[in-house]
Amino acid sequence: MLAVDVKNIKKTFTSKQDTVEAVKDVSFQVEQGEIFGLLGPNGAGKSTTILMLTTLLSITKGSASILGIDVETQDKQVREKIGVALQDTGIDNLLTGKELFFTTCRLWGYNKSDSEKRTKELLELVGLTEAADRRVKTYSGGMKRRLDLGLSLVHSPEILFLDEPTTGLDPGSRRVLWDEIKRLRDTGVTVILTTQYLEEADELADRIAIIDEGLVVAEGTSDELKASIGGDVITFSFETEGDITKAQQLLTDSVQEKMELRITVEDGASKIPGYLKELTSAGIEVSSVAASKPTLDDVFLEVTGYRLEGADDAVEETPASTRGRGR
């Protein structure tokens, strides 16, 4: 049975002022026991998709099921099966980590002594035993994310939804969370996570769906997506604007980015000498050239027509939509 089966879901928000098509048409399937990544920039519709699948928003059109249970009509049963950590973490700052775990265990139906046991286990699992008796207010961003993850695991859910679990964390904290998520996958938990980080999708997700402006624009394993571009990427760097402009006239299929031109060709390395000869004989000075396998970044550029910026400097929280392109 599929862990998650999403068929052409759509979400329209209507208010007095206007209507927003937050999710236009999203479909994907997730097998049990895999990590599925929804990769997209700010405003792509990731959170809206997650909220629909976790029964917190109604689905305007289309259908979705979790382990064969329909999300719209059987929301109570779905909630039993899923663990959810939302993007705006709902954490009670005045309580201690231990109190939060205990309360959540009790709400899931554990009796007092089992709740105490489970609290201890989970604090250990997410590495918060030391901080257990401190109020959550004093936790760092990374600790809060781990707490949030832990709280979503209380009832040992089969399916876990994580909306941007590592946004805003430093590389070290991200890696800690990645390891935890992988460990969960290895125990059989299915994980659906959203991210705006290419590296995270590449490293963590078994399969990826790229989502942009409410649509799934590509889907597959990281390798499949990279292979779909076909061939290698050759990157030429130049010193002057003049050289770039002239080179562009020769390399008609190239994509410019800052002082670089990129082209995608079969068997890139063997073609470099030919290109260089052509460019130098036209009087263009090439400062460097390299051939490489396509990255997820290149895939993103190919399917959306722009780059997912800020992807490689995860530490600073950059809203991609304010950079590069207007929406």
Partner 1 sequence: MESNRSFLTQLQILTKRLLLRVIRRPLAELPNIFISAFFLFVYDGALGGVFGGSAQGTPFDFANGNFVNFILPVSIVSASVSGGASGIYLVEDIESGVFKRYQSMPISKWAIILAPMLVGALRVLLQAGLIMVIGKIIGADPAVGAVGYFMVLSIAFLWGMGFAGYSVAAGVRSGSSQGAQAASFLFFPALFLAPTFVPREALRGWLATASAYNPTTYVIESMRAIMVDGWITDVISKGYIAAGSFAAITLTFAVISAGKATEKA
Ligand X SMILES: Nc1ncnc2c1ncn2[C@@H]1O[C@H](COP(=O)(O)OP(=O)(O)OP(=O)(O)O)[C@@H](O)[C@H]1O
Q: Which does 6 bind (CB under 5 to 8 A by kind): partner 1, ligand X, Mg ion, none?
A: none
Q: Which does 22 bind (CB under 5 to 8 A by kind): Mg ion, partner 1, ligand X, none?
A: ligand X
Phi and psi at residue 193, in whole multiples of 5°?
Answer: -130, 155
User: Does 166 engage in binding with ligand X (CB under 6 A)?
Assistant: no
86/251 with CB nearer partner 1: 86
User: Does 67 engage in binding with partner 1 (CB under 8 A)?
Assistant: no
User: Does 46 engage in binding with ligand X (CB under 6 A)?
Assistant: yes
Candidates 73, 93, 221, 240; binder of partner 1 (CB under 8 A) is 93
Candidates 8, 31, 56, 305; binder of partner 1 (CB under 8 A) is 56
Candidates 86, 227, 272, 276; binder of partner 1 (CB under 8 A) is 86
Given a contact cutoff of 8 angstroms between Cβ atoms, the answer to whether 91 and 85 are in contact is no
Angle subtended by helix axes 141-151 and 112-125, to nearest 10: 140
Given a contact cutoff of 8 angstroms between Cβ atoms, the answer to whether 80 and 16 are in contact is no
Return the closest-CA partner of residue 3 out of 57, 120, 56, 81.
Answer: 81
Candidates 17, 19, 111, 252; binder of partner 1 (CB under 8 A) is 111
Q: How many helices (H) and strands (E) does the chain have?
A: 11, 14
User: Does 82 engage in binding with partner 1 (CB under 8 A)?
Assistant: yes
Q: Which residues contact 191 (CB under 8 A, 6 or more apart)?
A: 34, 35, 36, 159, 160, 162, 181, 184, 185
User: Does 107 engage in binding with partner 1 (CB under 8 A)?
Assistant: yes
Distance CA 85, CA 72 (A): 20
Using CB under 6 A, list all residues that contact ligand X: 13, 20, 22, 40, 42-48, 87, 196
